[in-house]
């Protein structure tokens, strides 16, 4: 129970604290946004690679089934996009709402919530699995998600192609992937990890998550959710219906519940129920999509985790 409380405090406490700080008006909004942007860069580019590198360096006795995690992670993102497109076509959403809905359905909060939960509940092996799961997310988000949202906002879905220019503009996002490869290389080379580094991952990951939560909280703008309730239900159906309905049977077929005491399947279950990522709010700003819809989808799916996470915790206990 204490681990569950710790996760909720770090994740939701930091978001709430950031939001309240912004609304207290103690600093100009431009200053808060500048601090928020710099905090995100420091956390994602300079701090996050450290625990990733250490986790893969120390990962030992990994069964071959874990090689499926990057594929399952890519499948989750693709399912989010396909499910969102199906809702868009079925309910004939206008372009600005269609692009925003796609972002909420496709982008998942693996970094802020998924990795911390996996670390706290399953230790460094769980954290490494979460990183494997998210290995292709940068490529899919910036190479496919962003250009697709832009095209949908412009009213066209024709001629979609990998946007290499978008990938080049976001090269720092590949630093965590480099940490995975470097840590894995040290592991395969048989280089021993110094005992002095024990505990670094367990300390850094909650600190990074809390700092990112504060940085995100000071930029959150709450919308009138009831105005977008039909679209929010579409997001919830994709996030907490379609994606788990495909990934969990796939995990069973791969035998993830029969290795490492069932931890890989439990990690997969947690990552299958992740809410919309805060990154889902970026394309609506860049491409003039419906930001209020994106805010609503992000907010409600994130709050839903307050119910889903304790349920998963007690089912896996």
Please give the average per-residue pLDDT across 149-174, as a whole number.
Answer: 71
Buried b vs exposed e over 108-118: b needs ≥16 C-beta within 10 Å?
A: bbbbbbbbbbb
- φ, ψ of residue 40 in degrees (nearest 5): -60, -40
Residue 84: give the domain boundaries: 2-316
Angle among Cα 16, 18, 22 to the nearest 5 degrees reads 115
> Can you give the pLDDT at residue 157?
62
Q: Determine how many CB atoms are found less than 10 A away from the CB of residue 59.
A: 19
> Can you give the pLDDT at residue 164?
62
> Can you give the pLDDT at residue 102?
96
What digits encode the pLDDT tens for the residues 206-259?
Answer: 999 999 999 998 888 777 788 899 999 999 999 999 999 999 999 999 999 999
What digits encode the pLDDT tens for the residues 84-143?
Answer: 999 999 999 999 999 999 999 999 999 889 999 999 999 999 999 999 999 999 889 988
Q: Cα separation of 37 and 27, whole Å?
A: 15
What digits encode the pLDDT tens for the residues 178-194?
Answer: 898 899 999 989 899 99
Predicted confidence band at 153 (pLDDT cuts at 50, 70, 90)? confident
Predicted confidence band at 162 (pLDDT cuts at 50, 70, 90)? low
Number of compact structural domains in the chain: 1
> Can you give the pLDDT at residue 165?
66
Q: Any idea what the CATH number is for the domain that residue 99 is in?
A: 1.20.1530
Of residues 61 and 152, the one with the higher pLDDT is 152
Predicted confidence band at 160 (pLDDT cuts at 50, 70, 90)? low
**Cβ contacts of 82-91, under 8 Å, gap ≥ 24:** 83/237, 83/238, 83/242, 83/243, 84/234, 84/235, 84/238, 87/234, 87/237, 87/238, 88/152, 91/230, 91/234
């Amino acid at each position: 129970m204490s681990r569950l409380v710790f996760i909720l405090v770090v994740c939701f406490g930091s978001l709430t604290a950031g939001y309240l700080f912004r609304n207290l008006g103690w600093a100009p909004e431009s200053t808060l946004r500048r601090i928020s942007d710099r905090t995100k860069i420091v956390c994602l580019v300079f701090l996050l690679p450290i625990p990733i590198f250490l986790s893969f360096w120390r990962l030992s006795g990994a069964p071959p089934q874990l090689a499926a995690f990057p594929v399952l992670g890519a499948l989750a993102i693709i399912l989010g996009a396909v499910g969102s497109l199906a809702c868009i076509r079925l309910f004939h959403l206008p372009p600005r709402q269609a692009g925003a809905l796609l972002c909420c359905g496709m982008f998942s909060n693996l970094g802020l919530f998924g990795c911390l939960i996996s670390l706290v509940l399953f230790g460094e092996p769980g954290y490494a699995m979460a990183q494997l799961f998210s290995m292709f997310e940068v490529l899919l988000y910036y190479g496919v998600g962003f250009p697709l949202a832009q095209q949908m906002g412009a009213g066209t879905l024709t001629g979609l192609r990998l946007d290499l220019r978008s990938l080049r503009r976001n090269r720092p996002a590949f630093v965590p992937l480099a940490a995975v490869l470097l840590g894995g290389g040290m592991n395969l080379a048989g280089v021993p990890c110094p005992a002095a580094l024990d505990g670094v991952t367990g300390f850094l990951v909650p600190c990074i998550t809390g700092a990112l939560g504060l940085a995100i909280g000071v930029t959150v703008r709450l919308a009138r959710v009831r105005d977008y309730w039909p679209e929010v239900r579409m997001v919830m159906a994709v996030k907490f219906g379609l994606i788990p309905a495909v990934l969990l049977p796939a995990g069973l077929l791969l035998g993830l519940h029969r290795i490492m005491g069932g931890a890989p399947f439990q990690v997969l279950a947690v990552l299958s129920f992740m809410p919309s990522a805060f990154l889902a709010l970026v394309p609506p700003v860049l491409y003039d999509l419906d930001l209020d819809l994106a805010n609503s989808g992000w907010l409600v799916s994130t709050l839903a985790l307050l119910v889903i996470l304790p349920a998963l915790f007690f089912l896996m206990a």
